[in-house]
């Protein structure tokens, strides 16, 4: 009985041994097959010829090279072989296998070129707005007033139609002398851009109710149009837009980005800028009353762009007829010296001419009056948030008379809310040389909303 039991145990142990051996053989077979598959997947062939080492990652390319001697598209590493040979590889994998096999450092793959930017789509529309909201308390013509008012309300729609053509339309909301709120078109033009023309940088042309050459330029140096209009417009010589054609551009490239970021990005011509045009002559809020066309032009020179980039000298001229059927003369010669700095701005303006845009600056016989004047403006940028402004204007509306001059004094405190939104508290006073004519003065708090 004991012998039978021992015999069964012996057979059982033998069978277990055979099973374990069979399992081991299966594992070895699978591992061998896997290794063979991996070797086939990582085909490698290395051949040295004529001082070069050629390495392959596929048998097809190796056979093609053997037959034709041409690697086709390949990677070449000069001096990267074990003895300084040039290595020519079929692809990145072949190069990596070669370097690994010879225990050599890996190589830096070239950074792939970024994909080209997507072509812009057109039209590109941008909508913005600017409002001047004021409270005013003052006296004019010996009459007191106290009022809230909207001095201006612009809705600005800019559209880029093609890379070289854009358009703008700007409705303008204002309050007339009766208190009625009205809307009219301030700008409505197409703009055409051209590549640089030698010394002329960024040449452009506006057609329609376009910028006249002067005020847009001055208002980007004196940024406080919200206080009220600039010197020459304030004295009734002209306004900012008219129906016609304006050509404009910069001179000699542009100032460095550092200047444009820290001081001003507007009209950044390295040697200055220009604008000239032909217009109906009535401005943007009057229809043309005659057939005369008015010629206007501005030339600005930046004489020392590398030494004093903020210094500019500007000339502005007008030649035409006032906007009445009688067509009185309207001429103007003016000049401005300006300096812009990150901490302050200073301008001085002189003007001399005859008549005005409206055509109502005439004597009893209908002859245009000779007139002249000057103005100085200063802005002190005390901190990024706070500033002070001051301006003094002297204007003679008829140089043949001795007692009709007026002088205007403006002083203001500015708080910058950010992104072009400002609050200005100012005092504005006008003294008249004519005996008995009362002084005009006004205290005003203005909020400029801009987006």
Task: Tell me what pLDDT residue 24 has.
Answer: 42
Task: Tell me what pLDDT residue 33 has.
Answer: 38
> What domains sit in the chain, N to C, each tagged with a CATH number?
42-101 (no CATH), 124-450 (2.40.160.10)
* Residue 33, token pair as written in the block: 């097959």
Yes or no: say if 353 and 319 are a contact pair by the CB < 8 Å rule.
no
Pairing of strands 52-56, 86-89: parallel
Pairing of strands 200-211, 241-251: antiparallel
- Determine the average pLDDT of the residues in 189-214: 98
Q: Could you read off the pLDDT of 285-336 as tens digits, one per residue?
A: 899 999 999 999 999 999 999 999 999 999 999 999 999 999 999 999 999 9
Task: Tell me what pLDDT residue 107 has.
Answer: 81
Q: What is the rounded CA–CA span in Å between residue 240 and residue 71? A: 70
Q: What is the rounded CA–CA span in Å between residue 245 and residue 276? A: 8
Give 69 or 387, the one with higher predicted confidence.
387
- Under the banding of pLDDT at 50, 70 and 90, the label for residue 125 is very high
What are the φ/ψ torsions at residue 4 (nearest 5 degrees)? -65, -40
- Determine the average pLDDT of the residues in 91-107: 89
Q: Could you read off the pLDDT of 205-243 as tens digits, one per residue?
A: 999 999 999 999 999 999 999 999 999 999 999 999 999
* Residue 218, token pair as written in the block: 């001055």
Task: Tell me what pLDDT residue 119 has.
Answer: 86
Nearest C-alpha neighbor of 138 from the set 447, 446, 440, 445: 440
- Determine the average pLDDT of the residues in 378-390: 98
Return the C-alpha torsion angle 344, 350, 354, 356, nearest 10: 10
Q: C-alpha angle 423/429/435, rounded to 5°?
A: 170
Yes or no: say if 396 and 276 are a contact pair by the CB < 8 Å rule.
no
Q: What is the rounded CA–CA span in Å between residue 311 and residue 337? A: 8
Residue 40 has pLDDT above 60, yes or no: no
Burial of 53 (0-12, 13-18, 19+ CB in 10 A): buried
pTM over 0.85: no
Q: Specify which residues 173 forms β-bridges with.
A: 153, 183
Q: What is the rounded CA–CA span in Å between residue 349 and residue 338? A: 9
Q: Which residues are within 8 A (CB) of 395 and not within 5 positions of it... i.e. 6 or more apart?
A: 231, 235, 371, 372, 373, 405, 406, 407, 408
Task: Tell me what pLDDT residue 41 has.
Answer: 54
Q: C-alpha angle 354/348/431, rounded to 5°?
A: 70
Yes or no: say if 386 and 415 are a contact pair by the CB < 8 Å rule.
yes
Q: What is the rounded CA–CA span in Å between residue 328 and residue 323? A: 8
Average pLDDT taken over every residue of the chain = 90
Q: Could you read off the pLDDT of 236-281 as tens digits, one per residue?
A: 999 999 999 999 999 999 999 999 999 999 999 999 999 999 999 9
> Of all residues in the chain, what percent carry a pLDDT higher than 70?
91
| End-to-end alpha carbon distance in the chain | 107
Q: What is the rounded CA–CA span in Å between residue 240 and residue 242? A: 7
Q: Is the peptide bond before 123 cis (omega within 30 degrees of 0)?
A: yes
Least confident span in 112-116, 212-216, 231-235, 399-403: 112-116
Block residue for tokens 């500007």: 314
């Amino acid at each position: 009985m004991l012998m039978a039991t021992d015999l069964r145990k012996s057979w059982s142990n033998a069978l277990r041994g055979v099973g374990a051996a069979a399992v081991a053989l299966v594992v070895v077979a699978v591992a061998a097959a896997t290794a063979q598959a991996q070797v086939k997947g990582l085909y490698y062939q290395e051949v040295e010829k004529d001082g070069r080492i050629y390495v392959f990652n596929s048998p097809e390319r190796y056979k093609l090279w053997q037959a034709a001697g041409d690697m086709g598209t390949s990677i070449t590493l000069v001096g990267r072989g074990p003895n300084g040979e040039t290595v020519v590889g079929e692809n990145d994998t072949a190069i990596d296998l070669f370097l690994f096999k010879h225990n050599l450092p890996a190589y830096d793959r070239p950074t792939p070129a970024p994909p080209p930017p997507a072509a812009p789509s057109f039209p590109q529309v941008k909508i913005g707005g600017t409002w001047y909201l004021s409270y005013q308390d003052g006296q004019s013509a010996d009459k007191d007033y106290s009022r809230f008012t909207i001095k201006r309300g612009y809705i600005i729609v800019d559209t880029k139609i093609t890379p070289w053509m854009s358009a703008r339309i700007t409705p303008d909301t204002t309050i007339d002398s009766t208190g009625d709120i009205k809307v009219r078109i301030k700008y409505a033009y197409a703009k055409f851009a051209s590549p640089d023309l030698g010394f002329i940088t960024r040449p452009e042309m506006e057609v329609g109710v376009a910028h006249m050459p002067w005020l847009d330029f001055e208002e980007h140096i004196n940024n406080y149009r919200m206080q009220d209009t600039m010197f020459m417009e304030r004295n009734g010589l002209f306004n900012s837009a008219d129906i016609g054609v304006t050509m404009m551009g910069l001179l000699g490239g542009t100032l460095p980005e550092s200047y444009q970021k820290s001081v001003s990005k507007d009209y950044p011509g390295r040697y200055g800028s220009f604008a000239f045009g032909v217009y109906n002559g009535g401005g943007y809020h009057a229809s043309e009353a005659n057939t005369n066309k008015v010629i206007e032009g501005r030339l600005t020179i930046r004489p020392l762009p590398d030494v004093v980039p903020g210094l500019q000298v500007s000339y502005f001229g007008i030649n035409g007829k006032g906007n009445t059927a009688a067509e009185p003369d309207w001429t103007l010669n003016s000049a401005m010296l300006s300096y812009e700095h990150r901490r302050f701005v200073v301008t001085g303006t002189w003007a001399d001419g005859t008549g005005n845009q409206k055509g109502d600056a005439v004597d009893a016989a209908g002859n245009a009056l000779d007139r002249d004047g000057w103005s100085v403006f200063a802005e002190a940028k005390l901190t990024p948030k706070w500033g002070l402004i001051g301006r003094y204007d002297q204007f003679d509306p008829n140089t043949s008379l001795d007692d009709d001059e007026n002088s205007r004094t403006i002083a203001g405190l500015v708080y910058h809310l950010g992104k072009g939104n400002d609050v200005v508290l100012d005092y504005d006073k006008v003294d008249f040389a004519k005996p008995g004519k009362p002084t005009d003065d006004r205290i005003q708090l203005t909020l400029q909303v801009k987006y």
